[in-house]
Structure 1
Amino acid sequence: MTSTRRMSPAEALDVLLEGNRRFVLGAPLHPNQDAVRRSELTAGQEPFAVVLGCSDSRLAAEIIFDQGLGELFVVRTAGHVVGPEVLGSVEYSTNVLDCRLVVVLGHDSCGAVAAARAAVAGQPPAPGYVRDIVERVTPSVLAAQAAGLHKDSDMIDTHIRHTVDLLLDRSRVLAEQVAQNHVGVVGLAYHLAEGKARLVTSHGLPAATAADTPTPAAGLTRP
């Protein structure tokens, strides 16, 4: 069950990374996924974090962070691109549902980033609305190349940072919540082969939360 008090942003990140550690080790708990939990949630939801992730089928947040029903508010778009619907969903999660942590979740071998790299290299543009996605990712690719970064991991990290910055730049609500230390925003890069989520960037969290092997947050009752 979720704690009776709200987690801090740092505690929420610790819970996510500890769940990911269990997933990497092949020892997930699969918490809060039974009929009892399903019944408990009919009265409402109180997720502790919102995850803006890529729509890639290999990036299911509840699985890779070993969480259950009602614990994560998940928003997914190809390449975790940001538009009004995404901004509204994130603001709803922090303003109405009181999520204290916003996570931008990218991953290696991202098709949207690969398509943007191909477009920058001069290949024919993508058809239909896919082109819009590619155009939204292209600034990240150009920024990485301008900095002399050409590896896939560097491109992914740059795009994750760009998405985090875009959220804070376009959402005054979120920026004010971070400035007031009420909400934290982090960018994580997921490695498909290892199953591990790596911290790329953070805003509104103590530096100590960047530890690679966090311990469960003290004082919280987790499954």
Structure 2
Amino acid sequence: MPQPSSPYTSLPTGDTPQHCTRPLHHDIRRRSFLGLLGAGATSLAISPAWAADPLPRPVVTGDAALARLMAGNARWAAGKPEARDPMAGRDARARAQYPIAAIISCADSRIAPELAFDQGPGEVFVVRLAGNFANDDGIASLEYAVAVLGVPLVMVLGHSGCGAVSATIDVIRNGTILPGHLPGLIDAMRPGIEPVVLSSGVDRTAADLLADATIGNVRHTLSTLADATPVLSQAIADTRVKAVGGIYDIATGKVTLV
């Protein structure tokens, strides 16, 4: 059966595209990346990892990347993912990576973005932590994906029945005290969830509140990324990077953009 289109799987096993022959750390070293991040917002220039290669990878727009993800999700939700050999293109991936999107996702074990969007190895760059919020470490990871790997799309992916969102609602409504480092997680999620909780009507069901708070949390994370200077904020403002939010429904496997 034909393999799905991929910068890795389009070659016979063992072959490597000419633009993948140089390891990533030979193209962009740590000092050059730190210099990039240290540049002022007015002088920042996105420098993809393949910029110096004689045969650069095909350009993928944010819209095209999103369409590819959503088409993959439709296949996943329908129970018809594409057949693929996960070993195909392994030699090329050992030399470089060319993901089409960066996804900040919840750490919930019931969702794996690579599966949810029916993508193969090396095709999505995933940052995961409970509650899919954006802390400094997550933002730095996305900066790497944008400034070094040149991804054209960033997605914040929440999901139905999120325990981190539910816990935040409980703390806001009932003043529950959580152990360990969990209060820090709640503090990070509170700005996107608290307005939803405080505006909820008396007739709103717990399920509706959880769903609305999950959307509020995703949208707040998107706002955080848009304000993350200088790398993400400029790339998003200049439309070099498309930023979107989505909710994964665990019961159906479907992602809805919000």
If the TM-score is normalised by the length of the shorter chain, which range does it land in? 0.7 to 0.9
C-alpha distance in 1 between matches for 2:135 and 2:237: 22
Q: 2:123 corresponds to which residue?
A: 71
Correspondence for 2:81? 28
* 2-structure distance, mates of 1:30, 1:134: 40
Q: How does 1:86-125 map to 2 (within 5 A)?
A: 86-125=138-177
Q: Does the CA contact (< 8 Å) of 2:152 and 2:241 recur in 1?
A: yes
Partner of 1:14: 67
Which structure: greater strand fraction? 1
The answer to whether the 8 A contact 1:49-1:103 is kept is yes
Q: Tell me, yes or no, if the aligned pair for 2:105 and 2:132 is still in contact at 8 Å.
A: yes
Partner SS state of residue 125, structure 2: strand
Residue among 3, 6, 10 paired with 1:2: 6
Question: Aligned residue for 2:17?
Answer: none
Alignment of 1:1-223 (within 5 A): 1-2=5-6, 4-31=57-84, 33-148=85-200, 151=208, 152-200=210-258
TM-score by length of 1: 0.85
Q: Is the 8 A contact 1:116 1:141 kept in 2?
A: yes
Q: What's the counterpart of residue 218 of structure 1?
A: none
Maintained 8 Å contact 1:30/1:67: no
Task: Check 1:30–1:62 CA distance in 2 against 1; reply closer, same or farther (3 A cut).
Answer: farther
Tell me if the contact between 2:236 and 2:243 (Cα under 8 Å) persists in the aligned partners.
yes
CA–CA separation in structure 1 for the residues paired with 2:127 and 2:198: 30
* 30 and 168 in structure 1: CA distance in 2 versus 1, 3 angstrom threshold: farther
Contact 1:30 1:68 in 2 (8 A): no
CA RMSD of aligned residues (A): 1.5
Q: Kindly tell me: are residues 8 and 91 of structure 1, through their superposed partners in 2, closer, same or farther at Cα, counting changes over 3 Å?
A: same
Q: How far is 1:30 from its partner?
A: 4.4
Q: Is the contact made by 1:169 and 1:175 (CA closer than 8 Å) also made in structure 2?
A: yes
Range 135-144 or range 106-115, more displaced: 135-144
Amino acid at match of 2:62: P
Q: What is the TM-score with the length of structure 2 in the denominator? A: 0.74
Using the alignment, how far apart are the partners of 2:119 and 2:83 within structure 1?
7
**For the pair shown, which has the larger CA radius of gyration, 1 or 2?**
2
2:236 touches 2:242 (CA, 8 Å); kept in 1?
yes
Which structure is richer in relative contact order (CA contacts within 8 A, separation 6 or more)?
1
Query: Which shifted more, 148-157 or 190-199?
Result: 148-157
5+ residue gaps in structure 2?
8-56
Letter of the aligned partner of 1:6 in structure 2?
A: V
Equivalent position amino acid for 2:213 in 1:
M
